[in-house]
Structure 1
């Protein structure tokens, strides 16, 4: 998107791609459906240390303008629960193909298998790749992504190169992921899904709550509700008491749940 935007403003653009094809991480996003954005772009959802950066970015490129950008590319979208936006095709491949097509029409020079390892700054910028090639330009946009999914090219190269240019980095934490639990017995529930209300607690204090799908895995807890809670507890898992409280009957009080369980037991006493 950065390359397309620059080309649309008249710049001559060279796009260096580490992999042998563009958009490999896009292809796995949203379980292959490509979760493009969320319509609830309120600043309160930003958890970084520089909220002004997020404020300026959201003001310059709000949700409607983002949707219009994708429509101009030819991508029709669909709105789902909790403001999630997916391509109407439900296929991440359609998003990647349209981005590739737009890049070609914009005249962007795409260089694949160009694994950048160093950026030198002088009168211009020189980007050097692992295999010794070099590319010079007046400006550089560093969009290497995060360190997740190393099999798809994820690494800390971008952070390292940014630091070499004078930027600083704080301690890194997972921003979205599952939680490993101490109770090994949970592996018996592997694969079980449920819509729940969950609370994340640090030293007994609730730090975040959400209601969505829970997925039991052999190592612990996963699913969208856990992903949403994980960023709130990630900085504390090493040195604090972190726990998750799960309500399998959201919106119902204790009496309602007891009545429901008693009724099921009376009708199906042979079931465990």
Structure 2
């Protein structure tokens, strides 16, 4: 066998967590090989932060992570924290720039620069990288592991780190194969679903308001209970709704839908006034221009394309009648919709639109302080394949770096 065929540690997957796992293991003296199914590694890194790479967040805290047991993330996040992450990348040449809400970007504003310095470091450190290589199956042997590739080749290693990612953004190579490998090795997988993703809503008018953008508040409701909410730029789409606040709250919507419970979206287009305050504002506005057509009377206050849809949702058939003929009840209904517009959430967009996978390999079968399997000695996990996912804003990449670092260090230091 060649040198690469007898590498001590194989890292399956060359994404963010796999790259850090490989470097961490190599720094500890291990002979490491990354196996990547794509023609090049780090493809998903290039898409993060809208091509700018929001590579961490200075406000990283366990409260920004989800899963059956979010506290599981403490081990990795403590082993390689935000300060260590920023220091690591600064040493490689990435100058950090901290922006709103603690998001950290490279000064270059290019995700490609993050990948460039990682590729340089892999080469400098002597990590073997084999691309266009798809691992179909992994079996435990007396000497370690046997990896069967799609082309029929068999590789052997003493340790394996599974860094295959989830199912989000399948164009990056994430198709869920890692979950199947984990299952065959005896690991239960918590139900997966798309997260940080747009929401599909019930309604027949979305094509009319597609592309309408506003700053407001979005909230996921179950019955009368508010589950989660966020504020910012919200965008209507032909399938429903998008924008950063929608991505942030989509995880909770997905949980409800996955559990076959009803999820409702509450949208506040006007969120700086209460319903009563807005009703009074509209009453004054209407008094100042009593002969104006109702639809035209709202021009300059809300997006023009929203007006006919909102008026019809308020049950007003004659939307061009003078505002002096608008009843108190009709005006109150307009105020209600503008401050509390409810939609039934019918689902989320699918995997190609999702930024991250919710669910994954059950953390009860992974040691949180080493990321080694508690079922299969010598098998380690890192990144999105584990049932841990973060909020939007750099938290998922921090989990990738932290879990990759811990898995690589643990695999290289543990006895064979």
Residue 50 of structure 2: aligned partner: 31
- Asked if the contact 2:220–2:249 (Cα under 8 Å) also holds between the matched residues in 1, the reply is yes
Q: Say yes or no: does 1:241 pair with 2:257.
A: no
Counterpart of 1:28 in 2: which secondary structure? helix
Cα displacement (A) at 1:52: 3.8
Cα displacement (A) at 1:244: 1.1
Q: How many positions carry a matched residue from both structures? A: 272
Indicate how the Cα distance of structure 1 residues 132 and 225 shifts in structure 2: closer, same or farther if over 3 A, else same: same
Separation of aligned partners in 1, 2:193 and 2:168? 11
Cα displacement (A) at 1:141: 0.8
Residue 27 of structure 2: aligned partner: 8
Residue 221 of structure 2: aligned partner: 201
Runs of 5+ unmatched residues, structure 2: 1-19, 305-416
Indicate how the Cα distance of structure 1 residues 27 and 262 shifts in structure 2: closer, same or farther if over 3 A, else same: farther
Residue 76 of structure 2: aligned partner: 57
Residue 230 of structure 1: aligned partner: 250
Task: Give matches, 1:117-266, under 5 Å.
Answer: 117-122=136-141, 123-237=143-257, 239-254=260-275, 255=277, 259=281
Cα deviation digits, residues 63-83 of structure 1 (max 9, x gap)? 111111211221112112222
Indicate how the Cα distance of structure 1 residues 102 and 236 shifts in structure 2: closer, same or farther if over 3 A, else same: same
Separation of aligned partners in 1, 2:298 and 2:218? 30
Cα deviation digits, residues 109-138 of structure 1 (max 9, x gap)? 110101111111111112221011222221
TM-score by length of 2: 0.61
Counterpart of 2:252 in 1: which secondary structure? helix
TM-score by length of 1: 0.91
Cα displacement (A) at 1:260: 8.0
Cα displacement (A) at 1:261: 9.2
Separation of aligned partners in 2, 1:261 and 1:26? 52
TM-align CA RMSD: 2.3
* Structure showing greater Rg: 2
Indicate how the Cα distance of structure 1 residues 258 and 135 shifts in structure 2: closer, same or farther if over 3 A, else same: farther
- Asked if the contact 1:203–1:240 (Cα under 8 Å) also holds between the matched residues in 2, the reply is no
Indicate how the Cα distance of structure 1 residues 69 and 252 shifts in structure 2: closer, same or farther if over 3 A, else same: farther
Task: Give matches, 1:29-108, under 5 Å.
Answer: 29-108=48-127
- Asked if the contact 2:39–2:131 (Cα under 8 Å) also holds between the matched residues in 1, the reply is yes
